[in-house]
Amino acid sequence: MREIKCFHNKNARDFLVEKSSVKFMSKEIVNRVRNFHKKFSHYKPTPLESLDNMANKLNIKKIWVKDESFRFGLNAFKVLGGSYAIGVYLSRKLGIDINKLSFEKLKSPEYKKKIGDITFVTATDGNHGRGVAWAARELNQSAVVFMPKGSSKHRVDNIRKENAKVIVTEKYYDATVKMAAEFAQKNGVLIQDTSWEDYTEIPTWIMQGYATLIDEVLEELKKEGESALTHIFLQAGVGSLAAGIQAYLMSKFSINRPITLIIEPNNAACLYKSALIGDTKPHVVDGNLSTIMAGLACGKPSLIAWNILRDYSDYFISCSDRISENGMRMFAKPLLGDPKIVSGESGAVGLGLLIEILNNDLYNDLKESLGLSEDSRVLIFSTEGDTDPDHYREIVMDEDQITL
């Protein structure tokens, strides 16, 4: 039975960068983002691991994995977007160029007095909210984080450890975002990693913050004298990370950019659905969005993210939870000589998908369409570690289910 559904966006190579919506990810802005993050006392590039034996087993040239479980000690990449958005917001409030600011300066008594007390508000499945709460705590500010029903106790507890107030709702993710937005109107500043009509500025700053991930990757590959990437696997919830990286690639490489795959769980594949319908508009997936990939369990695309992904992404993929589970196990129990990577449910789906496409004859047509061959050099983002340790152990210990 086919567990992967695919839409090939044959128009993705029709747009030139000068006609695009990716100017918000210019070289100047990327440099500004990197400089801001580099000023953090906790900053250092996360590891770019090479799965050479896995690549050899799958008969491709290279597999690189960007391991975000090491990001600022928060076990996920999301803090890059939230911290940068808060930095831009405060720089504008102060009337100071963000290039002249750092978190160290912003939390000094001098700047804290000028800024005053602010409550940063967000909704999250876990990782984004923890990043916003961490940034607020670092700045001696407050955070209120709304979480959807069914949220992992570990993820709730980790956010509370950042001194944030956590409100677990009786709603699913998209309705919880609405609750957070309504609360913020009277009580604080909404730092949300999705967008809608009349709420696009802060989500754009968050997407800019994610440029650090791909910029670090290309910096490391250049340092190692490696050849250019041919394929990038990008998981997506509302699409902000995927769109941020897609915009970066389009701005930097235009038509010569790598082939991109946007990956979602079957029960929350709003971007895949939107691409399949093909009327250029974002479409909503209804229901309970049941999936182990909690960070990707979003039924409504971010408006600005969709506009970018619609125009420039080559493939939209919807896949089963088993694909992610297999990726988690292969990261945890790698082939001899490859590094072990702790990758959570939303982080491992890229590796699981690559293995499934190259190891299952059912997908020979997709393999051929993608042009995956012995010369392919693939980048995968492991976007989170074991953010729910109990569930992580339960999955990776079931070694009988590994397929390779």
Task: Give yes or no: residues 138 and 224 share one domain.
Answer: no
Task: Give yes or no: residues 291 and 393 share one domain.
Answer: yes
Provide Rg for the chain, Cα atoms.
20
Following CA atoms 124, 126, 129, 130 in sequence, which dihedral angle do they give, to the nearest 10 degrees? Answer: 180
5 DSSP β-pair partners? 318
For the cut 90, the answer to whether the pLDDT of residue 287 exceeds it is: no
Number of domains in the chain: 2
Task: Give yes or no: residues 85 and 217 share one domain.
Answer: no
Burial class (CB in 10 A: 0-12, 13-18, 19+), 372: buried
Last residue of one domain, picked from the residues 192, 218, 250: 192
Query: How many percent of the chain have pLDDT more than 70?
Result: 98
The answer as to whether 342 is a domain residue is yes
What pLDDT score does 343 carry?
Answer: 98
The answer as to whether 198 is a domain residue is no
Task: Give yes or no: residues 149 and 170 share one domain.
Answer: yes
Name the token pair of 215.
């910029």
Task: Give yes or no: residues 223 and 146 share one domain.
Answer: no
Task: Give yes or no: residues 370 and 230 share one domain.
Answer: yes
pTM here is 0.96
Last residue of one domain, picked from the residues 168, 192, 216: 192
C-alpha 243, offset from chain centre: 9
Task: Give yes or no: residues 245 and 287 share one domain.
Answer: yes
Task: Give yes or no: residues 66 and 116 share one domain.
Answer: no
User: What stretches of 239-302 show up as alpha helix (H) in DSSP?
Assistant: 240-253, 270-277
pLDDT one-digit tens code per residue, 206-255: 999 999 999 999 999 999 999 999 999 999 999 999 999 999 999 999 99
The answer as to whether 140 is a domain residue is yes
pLDDT one-digit tens code per residue, 79-97: 999 999 999 999 999 999 9
Task: Give yes or no: residues 245 and 319 share one domain.
Answer: yes
Q: Which residue in the list 78, 252, 273, 300 is annotated as catalytic? A: 78
Helix, strand, or coil (residue 296)? helix
Kind plus residue range of the DSSP H or E element containing 235: strand 231-235
The answer as to whether 202 is a domain residue is no
What single letter denotes the amino acid at residue 325? E
Task: Give yes or no: residues 270 and 324 share one domain.
Answer: yes
Q: Which residue in the list 66, 67, 125, 311 is annotated as catalytic? A: 125
Query: How many percent of the chain have pLDDT more than 90?
Result: 94
DSSP state of 195: -
Dist CA 15 CA 182 (whole Å): 37
pLDDT one-digit tens code per residue, 330-366: 999 999 999 999 999 999 999 999 999 999 999 999 9
**Residue 107 known to be catalytic:** no
DSSP state of 100: G
Question: Which residue is associated with the tokens 């992992």?
Answer: 152
What single letter denotes the amino acid at residue 98? I
Task: Give yes or no: residues 234 and 287 share one domain.
Answer: yes
For the cut 80, the answer to whether the pLDDT of residue 259 exceeds it is: yes
For residues 103 and 139, the answer to whether their CB atoms sit within 8 Å is yes
Task: Give yes or no: residues 168 and 293 share one domain.
Answer: no
The answer as to whether 200 is a domain residue is no
Dist CA 64 CA 178 (whole Å): 37
Last residue of one domain, picked from the residues 192, 218, 239: 192
Contact partners, residue 185, CB within 8 Å, separation at least 6: none
The answer as to whether 199 is a domain residue is no
What pLDDT score does 288 carry?
Answer: 85
Angle at 252 between CA 240 and CA 89, to 5 degrees: 45
**Residue 367 known to be catalytic:** no
Structural domain span for residue 183: 79-192
The answer as to whether 341 is a domain residue is yes
The answer as to whether 201 is a domain residue is no
For residue 51, what is the domain's CATH number? Answer: 3.40.50.1100
